[in-house]
Structure formats: structure tokens, C-alpha cells
């Protein structure tokens, strides 16, 4: 159901408030450039520093602006199961196509706790859920066996965004869950390798600034044009590296400011990029042709 280049869209701020006008323009930018779906309020969208009202409004804006042209997969996960249920119910009521559910962070639940958490959220809504596995940020890995049990027991848990960086683990997920369960890369540098083991696409950071190329990488691979997909992959790699020169989303929002896609403002504790890293970022953008 969910495949291709799915953007983990930034939340643009102006004077430390959500910049609704800029967000709507970004959605049009993605639709024009072949992005398959929008994920608001994820890590890249600085969800951790959005209050409830802002979080819900960002989701609503994306749904309103997309107008059904592409799916909106609302980031509504939390380290509180009840909070995740509240946010997910709101997204479902607002018309989201699906929800992205990050594993509970800081709490470090057991595999049993993870299972019960995701099951409770799944049972609270009818929309599809995509699990989000990123142990480097949450402190806990969702094991393939846990994902398989959730996929079997909860019919609306339909995919996983895998940001473990572990292709062996991702292969085990595909082997245990079967072809009807979606595997989405959570790392831009691993989009092509994940596609090669049966992945359906990418939830991407770099698509914020190069949406057409990320979309083309996936579509060329899916059409069997492996050499073309490889060429795009290797061309993108230096840009991808630059997007993680500091903690995401610092580099990508800085890049978007330089490209005048939106203002580059971040919310603390995300802080302005270091001058030496901004120089490296500018070089990568110029080399790629995104900045003069």
C-alpha cells in the first residue's frame, strides 16, 4: 500500500510558530516532484518539540493541502501509550491515510511491552499503522519476531520503517512477515540495498530537498532499470552524507533555508548548524546543483 519515495517532511517555523503558508507550499512542491506520500510530525518534523495543538494542526494542514492526491501518514507515536492513542485517533478522524508509530523512547520497554503498546494503538483505530524502528534514538530495538507477531495479530499493522541500519535484520523481517508486509528504509543511504531485499521504498530526509531524484531512484529500480537506480544512488550519496553532518533535522532545515524552500529555524534543543559544517553543507549542495 505504501511505497516509493515518502518524505519525512520538516515542520517550517517562522518566529518560532508553525509556518502554515510555507508548509502548504512544501506539500505542493512534493506533489509536483513525484513524492509518493507525506509523513508529518516525525523526527525530521521536530515532533518532540511540538505541543499537542501544533502537532494536530500540522497533521490537519497536510491532509487539507494534499486533498487526497497523495497519502498523509501522520507521525503519532509516543513513549506514552495513551498519548499515542490520543494522537492517532485525532489523525484518523482528520482523514490521515495511515499513522507512523515510533517505538516508545526513554522507557526502554521489553519486547512484550512493545507488543502490547503497538497492539493497543492498533486496536484504537481502523487506519493502517507503520511501525518505526530506530533504536539509535529510542534505546530499544523492535525484534523481527515481535514485528511478525504484531503483523499477524493486528491486521492494520501493515509495514515497518526500518532505521536500524541492519540489513540482516531487515531480511529476517521480510522472511518472517511475507510479501504482504511492507519494508521501508529509514536510512537514505540504504534505499537501494533495502529495495534489493524486497523493500517497498524509503521514508526519506533527503527527499525534502531532492524529491524527484529520490522518487526516480525507487521507480527505476522497480521498473528493473538497476543501472539507472545505481547511478542515482551514487550521485545522491554525498548529499545524503551532508544531511547527517549534524543531528537531523539541523542540516536539512539549513539546506532548505539556503535553497529558500522555507526558513531554516529550529526549536531548541536543536540549535543552529556550526559554521564549519555549514560550509561543508554548502559545498555538497553546490556540487549537487541545488545551490549556485
CA distance 194 to 202: 9
Bridge-partner residues for 204, per DSSP?
7
Catalytic residue among 3, 132, 149, 288: 132
Question: Which has the closest alpha carbon to 270: 11, 3, 55?
Answer: 11
Cell representation of residue 292: 549556485
Cell 512544501 belongs to 26
Beta-carbon contacts of 3 under 8 Å, excluding residues fewer than 6 positions away, are: 36, 182, 184, 200, 201, 218, 222
- The whole-angstrom separation of Cα 26 and Cα 21 is 9
Active-site position among 149, 161, 174, 253? 161
DSSP 17: E
For this structure, is 234 an active site residue? no
Residue 14 annotated among the catalytic residues of the structure: no
Residue 7's closest CA among 35, 29, 43? 35
Catalytic positions: 132, 161
Amino acid at each position: 500500500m505504501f511505497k516509493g519515495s515518502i518524505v519525512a517532511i520538516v515542520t517550517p517555523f517562522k518566529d518560532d510558530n508553525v509556518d502554515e503558508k510555507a508548509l502548504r507550499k512544501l506539500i505542493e512542491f512534493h506533489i509536483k516532484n513525484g513524492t509518493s506520500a507525506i509523513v508529518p510530525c516525525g523526527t525530521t518534523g521536530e515532533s518532540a518539540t511540538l505541543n499537542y495543538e501544533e502537532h494536530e494542526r500540522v497533521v490537519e494542514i497536510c491532509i487539507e493541502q494534499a486533498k487526497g492526491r497523495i497519502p498523509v501518514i501522520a507521525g503519532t507515536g509516543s513513549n506514552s501509550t495513551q498519548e499515542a492513542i490520543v494522537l492517532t485517533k485525532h489523525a484518523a478522524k482528520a482523514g490521515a491515510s495511515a499513522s507512523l508509530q515510533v517505538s516508545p523512547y526513554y522507557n526502554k520497554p521489553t519486547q512484550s511491552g512493545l507488543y502490547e503498546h503497538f497492539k493497543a494503538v492498533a486496536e484504537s483505530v481502523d487506519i493502517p499503522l507503520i511501525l518505526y524502528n530506530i533504536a539509535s534514538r529510542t534505546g530499544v530495538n523492535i525484534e523481527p519476531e515481535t514485528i511478525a507477531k504484531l503483523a499477524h495479530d493486528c491486521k492494520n499493522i501493515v509495514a515497518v520503517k526500518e532505521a536500524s541500519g541492519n540489513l540482516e535484520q531487515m531480511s529476517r523481517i521480510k522472511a518472517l512477515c511475507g510479501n504482504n508486509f511492507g519494508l521501508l528504509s529509514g536510512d537514505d543511504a540504504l534505499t537501494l540495498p533495502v529495495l534489493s531485499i524486497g523493500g517497498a521504498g524509503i521514508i526519506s530526509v533527503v527527499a525534502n530537498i531532492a524529491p524527484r531524484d529520490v522518487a526516480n531512484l525507487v521507480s527505476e529500480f522497480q521498473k528493473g532499470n538497476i543501472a539507472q537506480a545505481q547511478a542515482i544512488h551514487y550521485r545522491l550519496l554525498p548529499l545524503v552524507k551532508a544531511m547527517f553532518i549534524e543531528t537531523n533535522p539541523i542540516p536539512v532545515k539549513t539546506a532548505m533555508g539556503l535553497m529558500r524552500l522555507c526558513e531554516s529555524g529550529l526549536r531548541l534543543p536543536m540549535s543552529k548548524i556550526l559554521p564549519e559544517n555549514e560550509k561543508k553543507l554548502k559545498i555538497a549542495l553546490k556540487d549537487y546543483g541545488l545551490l549556485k
